[in-house]
Amino acid sequence: MAEKLKELKVDFLEYLEIEKNRSQLTIRNYDHYLSVFLDWGKVIDPSDINADLLRGFRLYLNRYEDKKGKKLKKVTQDYYIIAIRGFLKYMAKRDIKTLSSDKVELGKAKDRDVEFLELDEVKRLIAAASGSDLKDLRDRAMLELLFSTGLRVSELVGLNIDNVNLKSGEFSVRGKGDKIRLVFLSDSAKKAVSEYLGKRKDVSPALFVSFLKNTKEYSRITARSVQRLVKKYAVMAGIVKKITPHTLRHSFATDLLMNGADIRSVQAMLGHSSITTTQIYTHVTNKHLKEIHSRFHSDKK
């Protein structure tokens, strides 16, 4: 990658940080995607980027396999193209001659499969964490909170005790892109969190903690630990679906829509910047409604 391109890439990443207020994770990802593209294409000058080069890179991404023979998912391939398109748009704003971003199109995405739990399955999952010791109370509070609020697991593990207002049953959370949104606690979530905190005797500011063996010290729980716990309780509840913390976020959204919530409200509660992202749930709920219609509606001919 030529020095000029390196400087332009750095300028673009700084533009994303300052002007667009993108998260550090997004900036790191864009840096990676662009570096792979520019190094692969041996790009020396912005004018070297043309339709043929981009077409070749898309073929490379589509045919790429790692050492274990694993291919890149379509959504991952799209992330590369989105980063390139953003970089091209940025260079055009600076009147730098290169391929027009308008000529870069994403491949047609297939409908995403959304795995979610029926309400009965959610109840069974939460009931599986039915013990009365501190760990059980913590786990139940986490499950209740995930389903009540639709939090991402990264948002859940980042919560501090003073973030959550149990009295009002609502609190603000900082999500993707540093966007702040309001989330709401159900009565059962408030009760579960209150019981858990009532048994906490430590001084850690973290809402959810891990208990270190053979010590009285607590550390903030990790996203990986939450994933393992959700999987554990799914097995205990006899749920055969592949369950992750994000499944509870999907379940939160589908439950709202199936009970009559409008999609714009669900978008706000999930913290989606685009309504298109939220619309994946309408495929699920529309299919569910069709099944209900077929099951219960009499054809009087």
Query: Are residues 98 and 126 located together in one domain of the fold?
Result: no
Q: Residue 128's pLDDT is what?
A: 95
Q: DSSP label at 260?
A: T
Q: List pLDDT tens digits, range 200-244.
A: 988 899 999 997 766 667 889 999 999 999 999 999 999 988 899
Backbone angles phi, psi at 215, to 5 degrees: -140, 170
- Give Dmax over CA atoms of the chain in angstroms: 75
Residue 215 lies in a domain: yes
Q: List pLDDT tens digits, range 81-127.
A: 999 999 999 999 999 999 998 888 876 655 556 788 999 999 999 99
Q: With 90 as the cut, is the pLDDT of residue 23 above it?
A: no
Nearest to 126 by CA among 40, 242, 211, 248: 248
Residue 91 lies in a domain: yes
Residue 55: both structure tokens together: 């077409």
Q: List pLDDT tens digits, range 165-195.
A: 999 999 999 888 778 999 999 999 999 999 9
Query: Are residues 78 and 134 located together in one domain of the fold?
Result: no
Query: Residue 7's domain spans which residues?
Result: 3-103
Percent of the chain clearing pLDDT 70 (strictly above): 90
CA distance 261 to 54: 42
b/e code 7-19 from CB counts within 10 Å (16+ = b): ebbeebbebbeee
The DSSP result for 262-285, as a single string, is -HHHHHHHHT-SSHHHHTHHHHHH
Q: List pLDDT tens digits, range 115-153.
A: 889 999 999 999 999 889 999 999 999 999 999 999 999
Domain count, the chain: 2
CA dist 200 → 105, 196, 208, 218 (Å)? 53, 7, 10, 10
The enclosing domain of 80 has a CATH number of 1.10.150.130
Q: What angle do CA 204, 134, 212 make, to 5 degrees?
A: 55
Percent of the chain clearing pLDDT 90 (strictly above): 61
C-alpha torsion 146→150→245→247, nearest 10? 130
Query: Are residues 241 and 125 located together in one domain of the fold?
Result: yes
Q: What angle do CA 239, 245, 249 make, to 5 degrees?
A: 100
Length of the chain counted residue by residue? 301
**What is the set of active-site residues?**
152, 176, 246, 249, 272, 281
Query: Are residues 94 and 128 located together in one domain of the fold?
Result: no
Residue 111 lies in a domain: no
